[in-house]
Amino acid sequence: MYASEGDVLRLDKYISVSAALTRSESQRTIRAGRVAVNNTLIRDPAMHIRGDECVTLDGNVLSYSEFIYIMLNKPAGYISATEDARPGERVVTELLPPELLRRKPFPVGRLDRDTTGLIIMTNDGASAHRALSPNSHVAKTYRFTCSPTLSKESKAMLERGVDIGEVDSLGRSLLTAPAIVTINSLGSEGEITITEGKFHQIKRMFTAVGSKITSLSRVSFAGIALDESLPAGEWRYLMPEEIEKFTSAGRGKAGM
Ligand code: URA
Protein backbone atom coordinates (compact mmCIF):
# COMPACT_ATOMS: atom_id res chain seq x y z
CA MET A 1 0.00 0.00 0.00
CA TYR A 2 1.37 3.43 -0.84
CA ALA A 3 -0.99 5.65 1.09
CA SER A 4 -3.31 5.76 4.02
CA GLU A 5 -6.67 4.11 3.60
CA GLY A 6 -9.07 6.07 1.45
CA ASP A 7 -6.32 7.89 -0.50
CA VAL A 8 -6.17 7.49 -4.25
CA LEU A 9 -3.38 7.96 -6.75
CA ARG A 10 -3.64 8.66 -10.48
CA LEU A 11 -2.41 5.89 -12.73
CA ASP A 12 -0.01 8.22 -14.60
CA LYS A 13 1.67 9.23 -11.31
CA TYR A 14 1.90 5.57 -10.28
CA ILE A 15 3.55 4.62 -13.58
CA SER A 16 5.85 7.62 -13.60
CA VAL A 17 7.15 6.85 -10.08
CA SER A 18 7.35 3.09 -10.34
CA ALA A 19 8.84 2.98 -13.86
CA ALA A 20 11.00 6.14 -13.50
CA LEU A 21 9.29 7.98 -16.39
CA THR A 22 8.32 11.62 -16.70
CA ARG A 23 4.61 12.29 -16.27
CA SER A 24 4.17 12.85 -20.03
CA GLU A 25 6.14 9.67 -20.90
CA SER A 26 3.93 7.85 -18.45
CA GLN A 27 0.76 9.22 -20.07
CA ARG A 28 1.99 8.23 -23.54
CA THR A 29 2.84 4.76 -22.25
CA ILE A 30 -0.66 4.34 -20.80
CA ARG A 31 -2.40 5.66 -23.95
CA ALA A 32 -0.28 3.25 -26.03
CA GLY A 33 -2.01 0.37 -24.22
CA ARG A 34 1.10 -0.92 -22.45
CA VAL A 35 -0.36 -0.74 -18.94
CA ALA A 36 -2.81 -3.16 -17.31
CA VAL A 37 -4.50 -2.93 -13.94
CA ASN A 38 -5.66 -6.25 -12.52
CA ASN A 39 -5.22 -7.80 -15.96
CA THR A 40 -7.38 -5.20 -17.71
CA LEU A 41 -5.70 -2.94 -20.26
CA ILE A 42 -6.16 0.69 -19.21
CA ARG A 43 -5.67 3.67 -21.52
CA ASP A 44 -6.91 6.39 -19.14
CA PRO A 45 -3.97 8.14 -17.36
CA ALA A 46 -6.39 9.71 -14.86
CA MET A 47 -7.69 6.39 -13.57
CA HIS A 48 -7.54 6.21 -9.79
CA ILE A 49 -5.42 3.52 -8.13
CA ARG A 50 -5.86 2.47 -4.48
CA GLY A 51 -2.52 0.69 -4.14
CA ASP A 52 -3.58 -2.94 -3.76
CA GLU A 53 -4.06 -3.55 -7.50
CA CYS A 54 -1.66 -5.51 -9.67
CA VAL A 55 -0.28 -2.95 -12.14
CA THR A 56 1.85 -4.13 -15.05
CA LEU A 57 3.85 -2.39 -17.77
CA ASP A 58 4.46 -4.55 -20.84
CA GLY A 59 3.43 -7.50 -18.68
CA ASN A 60 5.97 -6.78 -15.90
CA VAL A 61 4.54 -6.20 -12.43
CA LEU A 62 5.41 -2.77 -11.02
CA SER A 63 5.69 -1.79 -7.42
CA TYR A 64 5.11 1.71 -6.14
CA SER A 65 7.06 3.32 -3.39
CA GLU A 66 6.52 6.90 -2.40
CA PHE A 67 10.11 7.42 -1.21
CA ILE A 68 13.57 6.56 -2.46
CA TYR A 69 16.55 5.91 -0.17
CA ILE A 70 20.05 6.01 -1.59
CA MET A 71 23.56 5.46 -0.24
CA LEU A 72 26.15 7.63 -1.98
CA ASN A 73 29.92 7.37 -1.53
CA LYS A 74 30.77 11.07 -1.78
CA PRO A 75 34.09 11.89 -3.40
CA ALA A 76 36.10 14.96 -2.34
CA GLY A 77 35.31 18.15 -4.23
CA TYR A 78 31.50 17.93 -4.10
CA ILE A 79 29.25 19.94 -1.83
CA SER A 80 26.30 18.38 -0.04
CA ALA A 81 23.52 20.32 -1.71
CA THR A 82 20.94 19.96 -4.45
CA GLU A 83 21.61 21.09 -8.01
CA ASP A 84 20.08 24.54 -7.72
CA ALA A 85 21.88 25.47 -4.51
CA ARG A 86 25.14 27.07 -5.70
CA PRO A 87 25.89 27.83 -9.34
CA GLY A 88 29.35 26.74 -10.47
CA GLU A 89 29.86 24.26 -7.60
CA ARG A 90 29.86 20.50 -8.08
CA VAL A 91 26.98 19.12 -6.03
CA VAL A 92 26.29 15.56 -4.91
CA THR A 93 23.06 15.32 -6.93
CA GLU A 94 25.20 15.43 -10.11
CA LEU A 95 26.33 11.93 -9.18
CA LEU A 96 22.77 10.54 -9.56
CA PRO A 97 21.07 9.70 -12.88
CA PRO A 98 18.26 11.94 -14.23
CA GLU A 99 15.51 9.38 -13.61
CA LEU A 100 16.39 9.41 -9.90
CA LEU A 101 16.66 13.20 -9.77
CA ARG A 102 13.05 13.40 -10.95
CA ARG A 103 12.13 11.98 -7.53
CA LYS A 104 13.85 14.99 -5.95
CA PRO A 105 16.28 13.34 -3.52
CA PHE A 106 18.34 15.58 -1.26
CA PRO A 107 21.34 14.84 0.96
CA VAL A 108 20.57 14.07 4.61
CA GLY A 109 22.93 16.43 6.39
CA ARG A 110 26.16 17.92 5.15
CA LEU A 111 29.70 16.76 4.67
CA ASP A 112 32.41 19.35 3.99
CA ARG A 113 33.62 19.61 0.40
CA ASP A 114 36.84 17.75 1.28
CA THR A 115 35.10 15.09 3.41
CA THR A 116 34.36 11.81 1.64
CA GLY A 117 32.12 8.85 2.37
CA LEU A 118 28.57 8.01 3.28
CA ILE A 119 25.73 10.35 2.45
CA ILE A 120 22.14 9.17 2.53
CA MET A 121 19.99 10.78 -0.15
CA THR A 122 16.21 10.60 0.04
CA ASN A 123 12.98 12.43 -0.70
CA ASP A 124 11.54 11.33 2.66
CA GLY A 125 11.61 14.71 4.36
CA ALA A 126 10.05 13.60 7.64
CA SER A 127 12.57 10.80 8.26
CA ALA A 128 15.47 13.04 7.21
CA HIS A 129 14.29 15.74 9.56
CA ARG A 130 14.06 13.27 12.44
CA ALA A 131 17.50 11.80 11.70
CA LEU A 132 19.06 15.27 11.69
CA SER A 133 17.27 16.62 14.75
CA PRO A 134 19.75 17.44 17.55
CA ASN A 135 17.39 15.64 19.92
CA SER A 136 17.73 12.40 17.97
CA HIS A 137 21.43 11.90 18.87
CA VAL A 138 21.95 9.82 15.74
CA ALA A 139 25.44 8.28 15.69
CA LYS A 140 27.82 9.15 12.84
CA THR A 141 31.22 7.49 12.56
CA TYR A 142 34.16 9.01 10.68
CA ARG A 143 37.55 7.62 9.79
CA PHE A 144 40.25 10.26 10.19
CA THR A 145 43.92 10.97 9.83
CA CYS A 146 45.39 13.81 11.84
CA SER A 147 48.58 15.72 12.46
CA PRO A 148 50.18 16.29 14.92
CA THR A 149 49.38 12.88 16.32
CA LEU A 150 46.71 12.48 19.00
CA SER A 151 47.97 11.71 22.51
CA LYS A 152 46.06 9.43 24.89
CA GLU A 153 45.13 12.55 26.91
CA SER A 154 43.74 14.29 23.80
CA LYS A 155 41.78 11.17 22.90
CA ALA A 156 40.31 11.13 26.42
CA MET A 157 39.39 14.82 26.11
CA LEU A 158 37.61 14.22 22.78
CA GLU A 159 35.71 11.36 24.42
CA ARG A 160 34.64 13.46 27.40
CA GLY A 161 33.72 16.57 25.38
CA VAL A 162 35.67 19.67 24.32
CA ASP A 163 35.03 23.38 23.95
CA ILE A 164 34.62 24.24 20.26
CA GLY A 165 33.17 27.67 20.94
CA GLU A 166 29.51 26.68 21.17
CA VAL A 167 27.34 28.48 23.72
CA ASP A 168 23.85 27.92 25.09
CA SER A 169 21.02 30.47 24.96
CA LEU A 170 22.46 32.21 28.05
CA GLY A 171 25.92 32.51 26.49
CA ARG A 172 27.46 29.77 28.64
CA SER A 173 30.12 27.56 27.06
CA LEU A 174 28.93 24.17 25.90
CA LEU A 175 31.15 21.12 25.57
CA THR A 176 30.64 18.65 22.75
CA ALA A 177 28.70 15.52 23.72
CA PRO A 178 30.71 12.42 24.65
CA ALA A 179 32.31 10.73 21.63
CA ILE A 180 33.80 7.31 21.01
CA VAL A 181 37.38 7.49 19.68
CA THR A 182 39.73 4.73 18.57
CA ILE A 183 43.29 5.49 17.43
CA ASN A 184 46.21 3.52 16.10
CA SER A 185 49.33 3.13 18.23
CA LEU A 186 50.96 6.18 16.59
CA GLY A 187 47.89 8.38 17.25
CA SER A 188 47.87 9.39 13.58
CA GLU A 189 44.59 7.79 12.46
CA GLY A 190 41.46 6.24 13.83
CA GLU A 191 37.69 6.48 14.06
CA ILE A 192 35.45 8.88 15.92
CA THR A 193 31.73 8.50 16.57
CA ILE A 194 29.69 11.59 17.46
CA THR A 195 26.00 12.12 18.05
CA GLU A 196 25.86 15.79 17.12
CA GLY A 197 26.22 17.55 13.79
CA LYS A 198 27.66 20.99 14.38
CA PHE A 199 29.33 22.87 11.51
CA HIS A 200 32.86 21.43 10.91
CA GLN A 201 32.41 19.65 14.22
CA ILE A 202 35.17 17.07 14.01
CA LYS A 203 37.72 19.48 12.58
CA ARG A 204 36.92 21.91 15.39
CA MET A 205 37.14 19.14 18.01
CA PHE A 206 40.64 18.21 16.83
CA THR A 207 41.68 21.86 16.76
CA ALA A 208 40.45 22.14 20.36
CA VAL A 209 42.96 19.46 21.42
CA GLY A 210 45.86 20.87 19.41
CA SER A 211 45.69 18.56 16.40
CA LYS A 212 44.38 18.98 12.85
CA ILE A 213 42.31 16.67 10.68
CA THR A 214 44.21 15.81 7.49
CA SER A 215 41.53 13.53 6.01
CA LEU A 216 37.98 12.68 7.00
CA SER A 217 35.58 10.07 5.67
CA ARG A 218 32.16 9.12 7.04
CA VAL A 219 31.83 5.36 7.35
CA SER A 220 28.49 5.05 9.15
CA PHE A 221 25.29 7.00 9.76
CA ALA A 222 22.46 5.86 12.06
CA GLY A 223 23.89 2.34 12.14
CA ILE A 224 24.08 2.16 8.33
CA ALA A 225 27.63 1.32 7.25
CA LEU A 226 29.11 2.63 4.02
CA ASP A 227 29.20 -0.27 1.56
CA GLU A 228 32.95 -0.88 1.14
CA SER A 229 32.33 -2.22 -2.37
CA LEU A 230 30.86 1.13 -3.49
CA PRO A 231 33.57 3.15 -5.30
CA ALA A 232 33.81 6.91 -4.63
CA GLY A 233 31.18 8.72 -6.69
CA GLU A 234 28.90 5.67 -6.94
CA TRP A 235 25.50 5.07 -5.34
CA ARG A 236 23.11 2.24 -4.61
CA TYR A 237 19.63 1.91 -3.14
CA LEU A 238 19.44 1.23 0.60
CA MET A 239 18.44 -2.34 1.43
CA PRO A 240 15.21 -2.91 3.40
CA GLU A 241 17.01 -3.31 6.74
CA GLU A 242 18.98 -0.10 6.06
CA ILE A 243 15.77 1.76 5.23
CA GLU A 244 14.36 0.50 8.50
CA LYS A 245 17.40 1.87 10.38
CA PHE A 246 17.12 5.20 8.63
CA THR A 247 13.38 5.69 9.06
CA SER A 248 13.55 4.62 12.71
CA ALA A 249 16.50 6.93 13.49
CA GLY A 250 15.34 9.55 15.91
CA ARG A 251 12.64 7.27 17.24
CA GLY A 252 15.04 6.25 20.00
CA LYS A 253 16.83 3.40 18.21
CA ALA A 254 19.88 4.89 16.50
CA GLY A 255 22.05 6.46 19.20
CA MET A 256 25.46 5.13 20.29
N1 URA B 1 32.84 17.14 10.84
C2 URA B 1 33.61 17.93 10.05
O3 URA B 1 34.46 18.67 10.53
N4 URA B 1 33.42 17.86 8.71
C5 URA B 1 32.51 17.05 8.13
O6 URA B 1 32.39 17.04 6.89
C7 URA B 1 31.73 16.23 8.97
C8 URA B 1 31.91 16.30 10.32
Mean pLDDT over each residue of the chain, to the nearest integer: 92
| Cα 169 to ligand 1 centroid, rounded to whole Å | 24
Quick one: how many helices (H) and strands (E) in the chain?
Answer: 7, 17
- What pLDDT was estimated at residue 155? 98
The pLDDT value recorded for residue 64 is: 87
Asked whether residue 4 carries a pLDDT value surpassing 50, the answer given is no
Catalytic residue, candidates 44, 112, 163, 227: 112
Query: What's residue 251's pLDDT?
Result: 80
Q: Which atom of ligand 1 is nearest to the CA of 203?
A: 3
Whether 227 is catalytic is: no
The alpha carbon dihedral of 218, 219, 221, 222 has a sign of negative
Among 200, 207, 214, 226, the mutation site with the greatest number of ligand 1 atoms within 8 A of its Cβ is: 200
Query: What is residue 256's predicted lDDT score, i.e. its pLDDT?
Result: 55
Q: Average the pLDDT over each of 26-35, 137-146, 246-255 and give the range with the smallest value.
A: 246-255
Give the Cα separation of 253 and 256 in Å (integer): 9
User: What residues line ligand 1, using a CB cutoff of 6 Å?
Assistant: 111-112, 115, 200-203, 216
Q: How far is the CA of 219 from the centre of ligand 1 (A)?
A: 12
Give the pTM.
0.86
What are the C-alpha distances in Å from 171 to residues 121, 200, 239?
Answer: 35, 20, 44
The better pLDDT of the pair 88, 113 is held by 113
Whose alpha carbon is nearest atom 3 of ligand 1?
Answer: 200
Shortest-distance atom of ligand 1 to CA 213: 3
Cα 205 to averaged position of ligand 1 atoms, centre (Å): 10
User: How much distance in Å is there from the Cα of 199 to the middle of ligand 1?
Assistant: 7
DSSP-assigned letter for residue 79: B
Phi-psi region of 161 (alpha: psi -120 to 50; beta: other; left: phi over 0): left
Which of 80, 115, 181, 205 to mutate to test ligand 1, by most ligand atoms within 8 A of the CB atom? 115
Percent of the chain with pLDDT over 90: 82
Strands of 33-172, DSSP E: 35-37, 40-41, 48-49, 55-57, 60-61, 69-74, 106-107, 116-122, 140-146, 163-167
CA dist., res. 204 & res. 212, Å (int): 8
CA distances 85 to 88, 91, 128, 150, 197, Å, are 10, 8, 18, 37, 20
Q: What is the pLDDT of residues 120-173, one digit of tens each?
A: 999 999 999 999 999 999 999 999 999 999 999 999 999 999 999 999 999 999
* C-alpha of residue 232 to centroid of ligand 1, in Å: 17
**Confidence band (pLDDT; 50, 70, 90) for 252?**
low
> Which among 110, 203, 226 is the best mutation to test ligand 1's pocket, defined by most ligand atoms within 8 Å of the CB?
203
- Give the single-character DSSP code of 194: E
